[in-house]
Amino acid sequence: MVVPLLVKDLRKDYLVKGKVTSALRGLSLTASRPMILSILGRNGSGKTTFVKIATGQLIPGSGTVEIFGHDVISSPASVKGLISLVPQECRPWGHMTPREHIYHYQRILGNSREGARDRVQFISDMLRIGSFMDTEAVNLSGGQRQLIVVGMSLSAEADIYFLDEPTIGLDVITRKNVWEGIRYFRKLGKTIVLTTHYLDEASALSDEIAVVSEGRLLAQGTLQQLQNMLDYNTRIRIPAGFAKGSLEPYGKVVSESQYEILYTDEKRVEEIILSAGLLKTRIEIGPVGLDDVFISLVGGSIED
Amino acid sequence: MKTSIIRDIRAWQSFTMLNGLIPIFRRPLALVAILSTPLSFLFFVDIFSHGTQLLVGSIGGLIFTVINAATMLQSDLLFGKIDLKFQQMIATTGISPLVYVMGMATGDIVFILPGAIFFLGVIVYLTPVTVLDVALIIFAAFLTWVFFSLFSYMISRKVREMREIWPISVIFGIVFAVIPPIYYSLNSIPVPFQYFAYLVPTTFAALIIKDAVANSLGSLPIPLFVYFVETVLMVVFATRISDWRQQTI
Ligand SMILES: Nc1ncnc2c1ncn2[C@@H]1O[C@H](COP(=O)(O)OP(=O)(O)OP(=O)(O)O)[C@@H](O)[C@H]1O
Ligand SMILES: [Mg+2]
Please state whether beta strands A208-213 and A83-86 pair in parallel, antiparallel, or not at all (unpaired). Answer: unpaired
* Residue ranges matching CATH 3.40.50.300 in chain A: 5-227
Residue in chain B lying closest to A84 (CA): B92
List the residue whose alpha carbon is closest to atom 29 of ligand 1: A44
User: Where is pLDDT greater, at A258 or A221?
Assistant: A221
Q: Is the pLDDT of residue A271 over 90?
A: no
Q: Is A301 exposed, middle or buried (0-12, 13-18, 19+ CB in 10 A)?
A: middle
**CB within 8 Å: B83 and A91:** yes
- Compute, in angstroms, the gap from residue A157 CA to the centroid of ligand 1: 29
Average the pLDDT over A284-293 and give the result.
91
Q: Is the pLDDT of residue A23 over 80?
A: yes
Which residues in chain B have Cβ-Cβ distances shorter than 8 Å to A57? Answer: 88, 91, 244-246, 249
**CB within 8 Å: B89 and A16:** no
Dmax (CA) for chain A in angstroms is: 72
Which residues in chain B have Cβ-Cβ distances shorter than 8 Å to A11? Answer: none
Which residues in chain B have Cβ-Cβ distances shorter than 8 Å to A95? Answer: 22-23, 26-27
Domains of chain B, by residue range, sit at 7-241
> pLDDT truncated to tens, each residue of chain B (249 aa)?
456 899 999 999 999 999 999 999 998 888 888 888 888 888 888 888 888 889 999 999 999 999 999 999 999 999 999 999 999 999 999 999 999 999 999 999 999 999 999 999 999 999 988 999 999 999 999 999 999 999 999 999 999 899 999 999 999 999 999 999 998 888 888 988 999 999 999 999 999 999 999 877 777 889 999 999 999 999 999 999 999 999 887
∠ CA B119-B120-B123, nearest 5°, is 90
- pLDDT score at B134: 95
CATH number, domain A5-227: 3.40.50.300
Cα-based distances in Å from A58 to A54, A72, B89, B222, B238? 8, 11, 13, 43, 19
Helix (H, G, I), strand (E, B) or coil at B63: helix
Helix (H, G, I), strand (E, B) or coil at B60: helix
Q: Is A63 exposed, middle or buried (0-12, 13-18, 19+ CB in 10 A)?
A: middle
The CATH class that applies to domain A231-287 reads alpha beta
Say what the pTM is. 0.93
pLDDT tens sequence across A169-203: 999 999 999 999 999 999 999 999 999 999 999 99
Q: What is the DSSP string of A222-259?
A: -HHHHHHTSS--EEEEEETTS-HHHHGGGSEEEE-SSE
- pLDDT score at A300: 55
Taking any CB pair shorter than 8 Å as contact, residues of chain A touching chain B are 14-16, 52, 55-59, 76-77, 80-81, 83-93, 95-96, 100, 104-105, 107-112, 136, 149, 152-153, 156, 158
User: Where is pLDDT greater, at A300 or A65?
Assistant: A65
* CA gyration radius, chain A: 22
Residues with CB under 6 A from ligand 1: A 14, 16, 21, 23, 41, 43-49, 88; B 248
Extract long-range pairs of B236-241: CB within 8 Å, 24+ residues apart. Answer: B237/B150, B238/B98, B238/B150, B238/B153, B238/B154, B239/B98, B241/B154, B241/B157
Whether residue B7 lies within 8 A of chain A, CB to CB, comes out as yes
Q: Of the ligands numbered here, which is closest to the C-alpha atom of A46? A: 1
Which residues in chain B have Cβ-Cβ distances shorter than 8 Å to A52? Answer: 88, 249
Whether residue B130 lies within 8 A of chain A, CB to CB, comes out as no
- Compute, in angstroms, the gap from residue A61 CA to the centroid of ligand 2: 19
Whether residue B241 lies within 8 A of chain A, CB to CB, comes out as no
pLDDT tens sequence across A51-82: 999 999 999 999 999 999 999 999 988 998 89
Helix (H, G, I), strand (E, B) or coil at A201: helix
Q: What is the rounded distance in angstroms from the CA atom of residue A123 to the CA atom of residue A102?
A: 8
Q: Of the ligands numbered here, which is closest to the C-alpha atom of A23? A: 1
Angle of the B54-78 helix axis to the B162-177 helix axis, nearest 10: 160
Q: Is the pLDDT of residue A304 over 50?
A: no
- pLDDT score at B8: 96
